[in-house]
Amino acid sequence: MSADTPIDRGFFMPAEWEPHARCWMAWPCRAALWGDGMMAAQVAYAEVARAIAEFEPVTMVARQDQVAEASLACGPGIDVLPLPIDDSWTRDTGPTFVVDGKGAVAGVSWQFNVWGDNLPGYDNDARLAEEVLDHLEADCFRAPLVLEGGSIHVDGAGTLITTEQCLLNPNRNPLLSRGEIEEHLMHFLGIRKVIWLGEGLEDDETDGHVDNVAAFVKPGVVVATMPADPVDPNHRIMQDNVARLRGSRDAAGREIEVVELPQPARRENPNGVRQALSYANFYIANGGIVMPGFEDPEDAKARAVLDKLFPDRDVVQVSGSDIVVGGGCIHCITQQQPAGDPFG
Amino acid sequence: MSADTPIDRGFFMPAEWEPHARCWMAWPCRAALWGDGMMAAQVAYAEVARAIAEFEPVTMVARQDQVAEASLACGPGIDVLPLPIDDSWTRDTGPTFVVDGKGAVAGVSWQFNVWGDNLPGYDNDARLAEEVLDHLEADCFRAPLVLEGGSIHVDGAGTLITTEQCLLNPNRNPLLSRGEIEEHLMHFLGIRKVIWLGEGLEDDETDGHVDNVAAFVKPGVVVATMPADPVDPNHRIMQDNVARLRGSRDAAGREIEVVELPQPARRENPNGVRQALSYANFYIANGGIVMPGFEDPEDAKARAVLDKLFPDRDVVQVSGSDIVVGGGCIHCITQQQPAGDPFG
């Protein structure tokens, strides 16, 4: 545990496209969330793990009693690390790793209040970031801010995008102003410019995580999902977000270029809640992109967009249909550990 | 796979006391070796893994069908990685990692011929180094030399110690001269000075691995085991080895200082073969030393020697009695992955 903040020691959050040491995932285990879909989710998680393992090592955190099934499902070559967990969203509950540009790696542990819901039964997940950093013997910066990793995207050069719906939501940090939140992002991630989008996807149970609507693909370029149908409520939301992006400059003064991704056809969970289907919820691995498909005619078009945006990476599409029923997709269930020395 | 050799790209083998990213171990699984002692060995390996995990991350490689038992035995916080293996001596069958001093990490895969015995049933272990490097997406340098990692110790500054009994044994590289072997060590590990000891311990089934008799503790200082009883055949062997060390200079021109470790009382396996008991078979972890004890009165004295030699590290003693029956001890069942970037 460190009493100072990351920028005091020169740490910042690198872009996801910088080299990784490893990808962290967690094995689906929360019956109350997944219900009858848990086994299908596990199969899908294992498929994502294997796809990423083609590019970089993957550690699958699993409850001790599920190590065997996780390992058998994932197969050879996937690390399984037994730690107490409540569910399986390492983007939100794992550490946000930071680097100092000189080879050292540390991590930030945010406060976790179950996506604003303050539900019981998430004590292990609230401690997961610290557990992972402790395992790596890496320094842990404990941030006095409720935040999930999926609510932010950075360009690794001082710019962060997020949504007002999530980060300014009174269910997260009711006592902090926009300016105070920006100050925390500066101190803990080395951010000099926050670009505020408005809302996330309709019915997104995370209160509008940015990783379901947009992602940096390199400094100055953001890919954003855009429904074709103007009647879709996401159309108005994303028109506003894209306008905000195009009207913004990043920390280096660059105007933001936006490339649009198609949106898969509307799908609902049995309870009538719209699923947050998004091709923007991809993971950037070493030399690869692992993106979701949804058995949707738009799959190939979305893939073609990312193929073009990442000419030096292999784009692999894995079905996200059995993951998204849990509330997120490939980016939400992964967390990159940047290359470098956690003991540095 | 790389066609050039490590020194062509500035790589060298760092000292074991340099920072590690991780320790690699493998789960005992060879019934023909362990017999009735396999479960006791597994318990002992798990204890070693937990002791090291106090200092740095540990990956336990296990056969897919033993992932569950390995994980349950090791407990929370130990990675388990399913890979095909034949047994459990990662010092000898894992990669020998090299670094370039600028943050990159790669590995050497030696040829493995089952400690000179050319026994069948070790194909997986012969491939393990490459499998591990492949998992890490690290470059693999394939060395045209039969060598096990336990037969060498380095100071990280150009000096290597080994034994003639092992490295010059006709069962290893019968067609290579001493000079040609030194040349390979230069090209693959960045070695400029080889200090040749004579023999290893009596009855050591590895043909005299150096890691059972001596170890660098810092540049210019070697700790070496020394039986108190002059009638013990190891006494003559070690008197010769210590004389060779004290008469040598390292790559930097320093005279070698030798500190002696006691030797535990003689013990034999049921087949009458003397066990290769040695306190020198310890592992240097980040901030710690994990050394064997043998429920022997000399345990405390040996620990005191290492305590004094490593004032900045916590020395932890774990029983090696159920490991050494398999032919090696803590150093033999571990392999450090240096800090740094395997993709660098």
Query: Residue B25 corresponds to which tokens in the numbers above?
Result: 């171990």
Distances (CA, A) of B149 to A167, B109, B136, B168: 52, 10, 19, 15
pLDDT at residue number A259 = 98
- Residue B93 burial (C-beta neighbours within 10 Å; 0-12, 13-18, 19+): buried
List, in order, residues 6 or more apart from A272 with CB less than 8 Å away: none
Backbone angles phi, psi at B60, to 5 degrees: -100, 110
Give B-chain residues touching A21 at CB under 8 angstroms. 21, 341-342
pLDDT surpassing 60 at residue B152 = yes
pLDDT surpassing 80 at residue B294 = yes
Confidence of residue B126 (pLDDT cuts 50, 70, 90): very high
Whether this model's ipTM surpasses 0.95 comes out as: no
**Among the partner residues A67, A77, A341, nearest to B71 by beta-carbon distance:** A67
> For residues A153 and A214, is the Cβ–Cβ distance under 8 A?
yes
> For residues A197 and A245, is the Cβ–Cβ distance under 8 A?
yes
In angstroms, rounded to a whole number, what is the distance separating the alpha carbons of residues B220 and B253? 9
Placement of tokens 């959050």 in the chain: A13
CATH superfamily entry for domain B6-338? L-arginine/glycine Amidinotransferase; Chain A (3.75.10.10)
In angstroms, rounded to a whole number, what is the distance separating the alpha carbons of residues A105 and B103? 12
Give A-chain residues touching B103 at CB under 8 angstroms. 103, 339-341
Reduced to 3 states (helix: H, G, I; strand: E, B; else coil), residue B49 is helix
Nearest to A159 by CA among A122, A196, A124, A198: A196
List, in order, residues 6 or more apart from A131 with CB less than 8 Å away: A83, A84, B77
In angstroms, rounded to a whole number, what is the distance separating the alpha carbons of residues B194 and B164? 11
- Residue A118 burial (C-beta neighbours within 10 Å; 0-12, 13-18, 19+): exposed
Report CB contact under 8 Å: B56, A21.
no
Q: What is the number of other CB atoms lying within 10 angstroms of the CB of residue B300?
A: 12
DSSP type of residue B211: G
pLDDT at residue number B271 = 86
In angstroms, rounded to a whole number, what is the distance separating the alpha carbons of residues B244 and A70? 52
> For residues A317 and A296, is the Cβ–Cβ distance under 8 A?
no
Distances (CA, A) of A79 to A50, A230, B71, B136, B336: 11, 45, 11, 11, 17
Q: What is the number of other CB atoms lying within 10 angstroms of the CB of residue A179?
A: 8
- Report chain B's terminal Cα–Cα distance, integer Å: 14
**Among the partner residues A55, A56, A71, nearest to B80 by beta-carbon distance:** A71
List of chain A residues with pLDDT < 70: 1-3, 344
Placement of tokens 């960045």 in the chain: B190
Chain A nearest CA to B23, separation (Å): 11
pLDDT at residue number B81 = 97
Give B-chain residues touching A336 at CB under 8 angstroms. none
| Chain B residue whose CA is closest to A337 | B341
pLDDT surpassing 90 at residue B226 = yes
pLDDT at residue number B167 = 97
Query: Residue B236 corresponds to which tokens in the numbers above?
Result: 């003559």
Helix, strand, coil shares, percent, chain A, to 5: 30, 25, 45
pLDDT at residue number B341 = 84
Residue A59: alpha-carbon gap to chain centroid: 16
Interface A-B, measured as beta-carbon pairs within 8 A, has a size of 106
pLDDT at residue number B343 = 72
Chain A nearest CA to B237, separation (Å): 40
Average pLDDT, chain B: 96
pLDDT at residue number B2 = 54
List, in order, residues 6 or more apart from B264 with CB less than 8 Å away: B277, B278, B279, B294, B296, B298, B299, B302
| Chain B residue whose CA is closest to A22 | B136
In angstroms, rounded to a whole number, what is the distance separating the alpha carbons of residues B134 and A272? 45
DSSP type of residue A210: G
Residue of A99, A137, A313, A337 to mutate for B, most B C-beta atoms under 10 A: A137
Helices within A120-161 (DSSP H only): 123-136
Give A-chain residues touching B342 at CB under 8 angstroms. 21, 339
Q: What is the number of other CB atoms lying within 10 angstroms of the CB of residue A306?
A: 22
What does the DSSP assignment read for A63-74? Answer: -GGGHHHHHHHH
Q: What is the crossing angle of helices A67-74 and B67-74, to 10°?
A: 140
Q: What is the number of other CB atoms lying within 10 angstroms of the CB of residue B333?
A: 31
B2-61 pLDDT per residue, tens: 568 999 999 999 999 999 999 999 999 999 999 999 999 999 999 999 999 999 999 999
**pLDDT (mean) for B126-140:** 96
- Residue A54 burial (C-beta neighbours within 10 Å; 0-12, 13-18, 19+): middle
Q: Which of B74, B166, B329, B332 is catalytic?
A: B332
In angstroms, rounded to a whole number, what is the distance separating the alpha carbons of residues A268 and A266? 7
Give A-chain residues touching B75 at CB under 8 angstroms. 64, 82
Higher-pLDDT residue of B59 and B342 is B59
Placement of tokens 């801010």 in the chain: A145
H or E element, residue A141: strand A140-146
In angstroms, rounded to a whole number, what is the distance separating the alpha carbons of residues A29 and A287? 30
- Domain coordinates of chain A in residue numbers? 6-338
A3-30 pLDDT per residue, tens: 689 999 999 999 999 999 999 999 999 9
> For residues B38 and B31, is the Cβ–Cβ distance under 8 A?
yes
Backbone angles phi, psi at B146, to 5 degrees: -80, 120
Backbone angles phi, psi at A64, to 5 degrees: -50, -40
B239-248 pLDDT per residue, tens: 999 999 999 9
| Chain B residue whose CA is closest to A78 | B81
Residue of B137, B286, B312 to mutate for A, most A C-beta atoms under 10 A: B137
DSSP type of residue A36: G
In angstroms, rounded to a whole number, what is the distance separating the alpha carbons of residues A110 and A176? 15
Q: Please give the model's pTM, rounded to 2 decimal places.
A: 0.91
Report CB contact under 8 Å: A80, B79.
yes
> For residues B60 and B81, is the Cβ–Cβ distance under 8 A?
yes
Chain A nearest CA to B171, separation (Å): 33
**Among the partner residues B76, B78, B82, nearest to A71 by beta-carbon distance:** B82
CA torsion, ordered B163, B164, B165, B168, to nearest 10 deg: 130
Q: What is the number of other CB atoms lying within 10 angstroms of the CB of residue A243?
A: 13
DSSP type of residue A14: P
Neighbouring-strand partners of residue A58: A23
In angstroms, rounded to a whole number, what is the distance separating the alpha carbons of residues B78 and B59? 6
> For residues B141 and B2, is the Cβ–Cβ distance under 8 A?
yes
In angstroms, rounded to a whole number, what is the distance separating the alpha carbons of residues A240 and B232? 84
Nearest to A195 by CA among A205, A204, A187, A185: A185
Report CB contact under 8 Å: A57, B135.
yes
Placement of tokens 């400029």 in the chain: B192
In angstroms, rounded to a whole number, what is the distance separating the alpha carbons of residues B94 and B105? 15
